[in-house]
Structure 1
Amino acid sequence: MTIALIVLAAGQGTRMNSDLPKVLHRIGAAPLVAHALAAGRALEPEQVIVVAGHGAEAVTKAVGKIDPEAKVVLQAEQLGTGHAVAQALPALEGFDGRVIMLYGDTPFIRPETLERLAESTAAVTVLGFEAADPGRYGRLIAKGNALDRIVEFKDASDEERAITLCNSGVISCDAVLLTELITGLNNDNASGEYYLTDIVAAARAKGLSAEVVTCPEEETLGINTRAELARAEALFQARMRAEAMENGVTMVDPDTVWFALDTYIGRDVVIGPNVVFGPDVTIESGAQIEAFCHLEGCHISRGATVGPFARLRPGAELAEDVHIGNFVEVKNSILAEGVKVGHLTYLGDADIGEGTNIGAGTVTCNYDGVFKHRTTVGANAFIGSDTMLVAPVTVGDGALTGSGSVITENVPAGAIALGRAKQMNRPGLATKLFEMLRAKKANMKKGS
């Protein structure tokens, strides 16, 4: 069956006390809405529609980066979840399949759960969960998997309030039927809103079937406050750490390693304490990340070692057996197999050939104040400590730069380049200078 996805992301999130739309607050270095989209995309939907409202411009921009194929529609007035779905229906005109409606502030629903919703043959299927503390959740009145109705807490009897099967708000429905049911909704309630959950009663009134699919309560966790956001981050990190170790990753101190939503790590990777992964990091099998590294937008190949105290920024590409040492920063640079960058170095906008050694304190001077320029270093070159490579510049294969050099011109293959002032020694001058300075200091103390 073909699937379409509607993600409701129009809420303001007033309890977040923020100018940022709620669905753009981050867990795992990704907006909340990105988590919902990632789970839904696993079903390979034919269409994805995001309903934006508060902060629509920012939400639209973010969704465009996360999922360029998704369509964003506007809910200009927030008149309830049913009204939000109604705004998405014109974009589904002609679609003949199953529609799954979920929420941009509910980041933990698993693709496997959405698959079960998609596979349901009932006219309307609601995702429910057994709540440890049902509180004020709506209750699902069901016999087995057959759903009779949804009762809101305020309308529930004492007997119904004792039920622990609760409504998550996530629903799947046949597309043609959904249009009919949404069109028939009314806002005859205390809030004056159109509720998506009312389509269950509407379907049952037509003699159609309704069903419950259940999932663990944690999958339905919604984010409404900063405290809930922090708890959700902790839950996300715990899940990612467990999955990484199950997939063959070694972490010396798991509780101090922080993952992003899209972090990919191969088996037999070893990660030291206090490592932070930003978005878009891929680490191949057998690599090693030492303590206190920050990685973002980079690719690390098999057998490479990074850190401790290293930073890899977007565009850093490390081939096999590359070594990046302490206090090294790499950005938008490609390091070929076997390159060694031991310590205290910045490589930005550079191509470094295989087997090359980059000495301590080397800097690629890639920015002239207006434009970025690229540095190219060939294979098996030796860049002496404290070399300034002023881009655009090329150092050929097997070439060598002397320590402390400022390289402003291309260096031919096999050549030695020295770009520093000639050293001059003045015998006895240091002694005279120190004597003068000490005398001056002593006179200053007498005067005070």
Structure 2
Amino acid sequence: MLTIKDLFDLDHTIAKDYLAQFTYPWEALAGIKDFILSVGPTLEDYDEVSPQVWVHKTATVAPTAFLGGPCIIGPETEVRHCAFIRGSALVGAGCVVGNSVELKNVILFDGVQTPHYNYVGDSILGYKSHMGAGSITSNVKSDKLPVVVRCGDERIDTGRKKVGAMLGDFVEVGCNSVLNPGSVIGRHSIIYPTSCVRGVLAENSIHKNDGTVLSRK
């Protein structure tokens, strides 16, 4: 349940071939910037609105939003008032990057919504996943040691000090939830509002805000 194949339908991102090189999604984090720089100049129907910032002609970007390069903003995507894209952000088609949302070193698959006051850093959000208002990905441990992904008794050292969350396709994250460093959320799972999530949540699960986990099946 931890691999890219387990979590994502790669047909819903222009990073398909890039991601297919890796087994685990966090392995792709180191190369997001270089991937954007390599593919950006080749894109059709995009305008390079500032150096290394490519925005599709059908995307809508509020004049108060900040787009830091390198980044790609896909077709029909809406970047709203005061969004802050710090760079190394690949935002797919039909996405919402909302009011006061901050993105850094991320891949957002098509249809992802981060609409209100979200921080998403060093993370990958799968097709049509949704972050409720105020929910964030925490990407650095308090002890600043490399992030370890924990799945039952299995421990995988990512070798990175900054790893946020890996959200599978169709994941719903409730308002004001915190996804701790190295969280992996399986496809079609739901996280209740105000939850504090650690480790791995299997696909088709419900994570309640008291930590209880139920199956949706």
State whether TM-score is above 0.5: yes
- 1:407 corresponds to which residue? 197
User: Cα 1:335–1:389, aligned 2, differ >3 Å: closer, same or farther?
Assistant: same
- 1:160 corresponds to which residue? none
- 1:284 corresponds to which residue? 56
User: Offset at 1:409?
Assistant: 2.1
- 2:208 corresponds to which residue? 418
* Counterpart pick for 1:343 among 112, 116, 123: 116
Correspondence 1:349-368 to 2 at 5 A: 349-368=122-141
Task: Describe the SS at the equivalent of 1:413.
Answer: coil
CA distance in 1, matches of 2:183, 2:129: 16
Q: Work out which of the two has the higher radius of gyration on C-alpha atoms and give 1 or 2.
A: 1
* Counterpart pick for 2:169 among 379, 384, 395: 379
Task: Describe the SS at the equivalent of 1:324.
Answer: strand
The superposition leaves residues 130-150 of structure 1 with CA deviations (integer Å, 9 ceiling, x where unpaired) of: xxxxxxxxxxxxxxxxxxxxx
Amino acid at match of 2:61: I
CA distance in 2, matches of 1:421, 1:400: 12
User: Offset at 1:421?
Assistant: 7.8
Conserved 8 A contact 1:404-1:420? no
Amino acid at match of 2:129: T
Amino acid at match of 2:123: A
| Structure having the larger proportion of residues in strand | 2
The superposition leaves residues 386-427 of structure 1 with CA deviations (integer Å, 9 ceiling, x where unpaired) of: 1100011100110000100000121111101124489xxxxx
- 2:77 corresponds to which residue? 304
RCO higher in 1 or 2 (8 Å CA, sep ≥ 6)? 2
Amino acid at match of 1:389: L
- 1:321 corresponds to which residue? 94
User: Offset at 1:289?
Assistant: 0.2
Structure 1 spans left out of the alignment, 5+ residues = 1-247, 250-262, 266-276, 423-448
The superposition leaves residues 152-177 of structure 1 with CA deviations (integer Å, 9 ceiling, x where unpaired) of: xxxxxxxxxxxxxxxxxxxxxxxxxx
CA distance in 1, matches of 2:104, 2:210: 27
TM-score (norm 2): 0.65
Q: Does residue 295 of the first structure (1) align with residue 79 of the second (2)? A: no
- 1:396 corresponds to which residue? 186
Superposition misfits of 4+ residues, deviation over 6 angstroms:
none
Conserved 8 A contact 1:328-1:345? yes
CA distance in 1, matches of 2:131, 2:204: 16
CA distance in 1, matches of 2:178, 2:117: 13
CA distance in 2, matches of 1:342, 1:284: 19
Computed over aligned residues only, the root mean square deviation of the Cα atoms, in angstroms, reads 2.1
Correspondence 1:32-431 to 2 at 5 A: 264-265=48-49, 279-297=51-69, 298-368=71-141, 369-370=144-145, 371-420=161-210
Amino acid at match of 2:116: H
Task: Describe the SS at the equivalent of 2:163.
Answer: coil
